[in-house]
Amino acid sequence: MEALPSTDMPACPICTMTDLLDGGGYHECATCGHEWDKAQPDELTVLDANGKQLSNGDNVTLVKDLKINGKSGRLKAGTKIKSIRLVDGDHPIDGKVDGRSMLIKAEFVKFA
């Protein structure tokens, strides 16, 4: 793999860095190691519990109580999560709640 020139390069969808390696039919981020297909669209389509499309930087609110894995606590319905980031996977929303980064399914949030 060879490093690509920084002009007109897409950013890594995970860490948003632009130091990418060319792997033929895919890009690989030199910073975090994430790989994705070159033909893959840049923007993810994520819908909240009400069917509204979410974007990076949106604020969302939880629509139900969620148990936190690894802790004996819960996130209460109505908790606001500011400046979310959309990621690829089964938990497409990355946000911080009380200073702790969490991945949340889109069906449990609504646009705030």
pLDDT of the residue at 41: 58
Query: Could you say which architecture CATH assigns to the domain 46-111?
Result: Roll (2.30)
Query: How would you classify residue 98: left for phi > 0, otherwise alpha for psi between -120 and 50, otherwise beta?
Result: left
Q: Splitting the chain (112 residues) into consecutive groups of 10 residues, what average pLDDT does each group show?
A: 58 80 85 79 80 92 89 87 89 89 93 92
**What is the domain class of 1-41 according to CATH?**
mainly beta
Q: What is the pLDDT of residue 95?
A: 92
Would you say 108 and 67 are in contact if contact means Cβ atoms under 8 Å apart?
no
Taking the chain, what is the end-to-end CA distance rounded to the nearest angstrom?
43
The structure tokens 């819960």 sit at: 74
- 1-41 with 46-111: one CATH topology? no
For the chain, domain boundaries = 1-41, 46-111
pTM for this structure?
A: 0.61
pLDDT score, position 62: 96
